[in-house]
Structure 1
């Protein structure tokens, strides 16, 4: 990391560490950078924009990781050459997947330790997916329009972007800021406990090259007369909400922090108290993601990158980079609601670039499994990632089986929908959902099996076996509860 004397002095005065303060300043730097772009670069040449985004993004990365930014530069140049030499062909996509994932995993292997590490691999995991997406969009754009899906027509690149365009897109401050900045928020400077570890799960802002180029060309604006977009107020609102979530996390993390689950006092608690702790901790843990996503989204709004047309009332929408649907997230009633409302950008990326490309398997379960394995591998080699994604797969499919059971069984459906039963059922479902948001996040936060296995064992694996048993029993329950077709009477046969 770059040695900035002023930052070191300021960090000492604020009672935090230099790395934490540097990362926080990097996150907040998005606002003045975006405001400068809006005020002084709007309507100017595309080349000027690309140079600005490249230099500012590299500057932020250098302030955090020093000369390790060479890894980002190597990968940006390599992916550009893949597109330039091979062209929009399937081979370029295959090589992009292999090269980018191999480079990232090599970084994890040679640099990682037994805890969350804030180093060049942290922002590079973001860049890995962005570069894979870029090469894939170039391939999609070269297809016959008749063979393109709606998403491919929307995102596909019909020409080879220049190296400067690729650099500007790759190093845009709205993309390089999210990820490493989250590490230190818990310790700045509200809590006396150690900073909460950063989970890399699904922490990134992804915007395709087509969106970036539309912004450069001035297409992403609510004003059609060449005026600057009216995005300052929406950006500041998002920043204010993000700060609220960040402060809430920093305060609550002092009581519900990761490492407590490895302390003897946690294991001495009764089972119910441990489960309640995990329930609340899981919700608090997610607040750090929400807060940082909102802060980063605000800087993207300020640069007009997020303009998404107008709603039915004619009001401008600034939500195309939205990574969290706040109202739905706070009111979720199912695991599918969590997926639909949380980490939207990652879900879209995984669906478009991985899941839908596995259609040839002709099996949704396998496609879903391979997609989750890819995401787990993208995070690294720690067993906690794979345990978390395994539980996600189990929960989502158990929920689908429950819905299918309601469809095939009028008896189950009538009981569930009964006006007396339904309120109690909704409360029970909400409690189960909250409890099983924290349970699968435990291995994700603690990483090593020696840690998270002890926590799950102390909870008697109650986040595992009820769902697994139900999945195994679901096919038999469907047969048992499905109404039998009535046999035709003898009179009917004789007719």
Structure 2
């Protein structure tokens, strides 16, 4: 089918693979409207629809027949392991199987030095890795006594093992098969049998599907196309790689800083484009329904993988990270962070480091990923210290309006978060060690100065000083989550316990 895409790619100036990918994402939207018309009484037809559309994407369109066979191998292997291994090591066997396969393909990609303009199997395989490892844990939870599970595990546990067709339909759910969103098996089956809609019936329909789905979905699609246009037009001139060009160093420092920040926004716009396009297609199939708003309108927030405004205008770095790659954060929290923690103990340093390592390996083997994640640990630590020691001093009393001091604090937090985001993300896009270090050098290491000076202040007496000041002014610091909470929020029960402790401290 290249004859359909080569002329378009030449006219736009994009790679053929990029045009193919965007075409698949756009085709998924009208196919989503067809999918939801299949009645819940025909579940096998829905599973088959997912499988056939995914085969169409991979083989005639993307020309990834070998890649599809590899994905199918991971799916069948997981299906066999989860069904036949009954012991507690089953989820870890699945994890080693699919993550090992993914890592091999990451190595092959690096060996052939394939650019990210080339779409190959590792992108879909990253999504599938999250699906299959989550499924394995859901099956294990289904074999575990309910009293030993938390709320999420109870909701997502699999007690009835799926048929092969059901599992193939889940694994190859077509709106998210290429770039996400990933979903768990229970959510997929609630979409198939329409229990997701909780029996709410649209006035204009004999089925339970709520009104407003198309309005939200096509607004998401339009948003994705806008960001896609921004990226196509501006990315040749604004990208992180511009930092290591000779031209960049001929400019003044303030101009370089401003140019670099805007380049970061343009780099992110491609992710905004593909994730909102897939979110729109998912909503058209019915996925993402989250109930009804105060005015009775249906809400569709469950398929979101990114919150753009919270990323570009965050009040602090934690809000920013909570809004980026949302579904991956859920996977890391539920399948790694909580699972590597010994029973009866709270997650600690070991759990955190294993989770960060998993995230790095999942992304690939490029050293830029590890530079980003390693520095990210220090960033989240600095943010936690600011929130625990400095923020209570600017909070207004309960019920009082926001003060000018608090607004200034939030404004500084927004500005600092964007500066740090672009600094730490540069290696993630530049990938190799030498380019990443050179980019940071040309930016005069400003991110290290910002984070390093913050940590030095708190570790060299600033925390004690601010705690004393809080006590003097009758303020109480918020009890914080762990530094890695942006990808691993604590269980709801732990949050409730912390709130009780905070209330008791405030009474005292």
> Could you tell me the TM-score, scaled by structure 2's length?
0.83
- In structure 1, the residue matched to 2:478 is none
C-alpha separation in 2, matches of 1:419 and 1:5: 61
Residue 27, structure 1, aligned to residue 5, structure 2: no
After TM superposition, give the deviation of residue 422 of structure 1 in Å.
4.9
- In structure 2, the residue matched to 1:78 is 77
Q: Which of 39, 42, 45 is the matching residue for 2:39?
A: 42
Deviation string, structure 1 residues 294-330 (Cα, Å, up to 9, x no partner): 1100000000021222234432221111112344334
Q: Which of 419, 423, 433 is the matching residue for 1:439?
A: 423
Contact 2:314 2:413 in 1 (8 A): no
C-alpha separation in 1, matches of 2:152 and 2:364: 29
Judging changes above 3 Å, is the alpha-carbon distance between structure 1 residues 229 and 337 closer, same or farther for their aligned structure 2 residues? same
Judging changes above 3 Å, is the alpha-carbon distance between structure 1 residues 5 and 44 closer, same or farther for their aligned structure 2 residues? farther
In the TM superposition, what are the counterparts of 1:318-467 in structure 2 within 5 Å? 318-360=300-342, 362-406=346-390, 422-467=406-451
Contact 2:82 2:94 in 1 (8 A): no
Relative to structure 2, which stretch is displaced further, 290-299 or 277-286?
277-286
Q: Which of 226, 233, 242 is the matching residue for 1:244?
A: 226
Q: Which runs of 5+ in 2 are unaligned?
A: 473-508
C-alpha separation in 2, matches of 1:207 and 1:102: 21
> Could you tell me the TM-score, scaled by structure 1's length?
0.85
C-alpha separation in 2, matches of 1:442 and 1:350: 22
Residue 55, structure 1, aligned to residue 52, structure 2: yes
C-alpha separation in 1, matches of 2:408 and 2:457: 24
C-alpha separation in 2, matches of 1:362 and 1:223: 43
Q: Secondary structure at the match of 2:299?
A: coil
After TM superposition, give the deviation of residue 380 of structure 1 in Å.
0.9
Q: Which of 185, 201, 222 is the matching residue for 1:223?
A: 201
Judging changes above 3 Å, is the alpha-carbon distance between structure 1 residues 367 and 468 closer, same or farther for their aligned structure 2 residues? farther
Q: Which of 9, 12, 18 is the matching residue for 2:16?
A: 18
Deviation string, structure 1 residues 196-247 (Cα, Å, up to 9, x no partner): xxxxxxxx31111111111111223442742555322221111112222222
C-alpha separation in 1, matches of 2:158 and 2:254: 54
Figure out how many residues of one structure are paired with residues of the other and give that number: 453
After TM superposition, give the deviation of residue 149 of structure 1 in Å.
0.5
- Backbone CA RMSD of aligned residues: 2.5
Contact 2:390 2:466 in 1 (8 A): no
Q: Which runs of 5+ in 1 are unaligned?
A: 179-203, 487-495
- In structure 1, the residue matched to 2:167 is 166
C-alpha separation in 2, matches of 1:443 and 1:460: 15
| Runs ≥4 residues deviating over 6 A | none
Judging changes above 3 Å, is the alpha-carbon distance between structure 1 residues 469 and 219 closer, same or farther for their aligned structure 2 residues? same
Q: Secondary structure at the match of 1:359?
A: coil
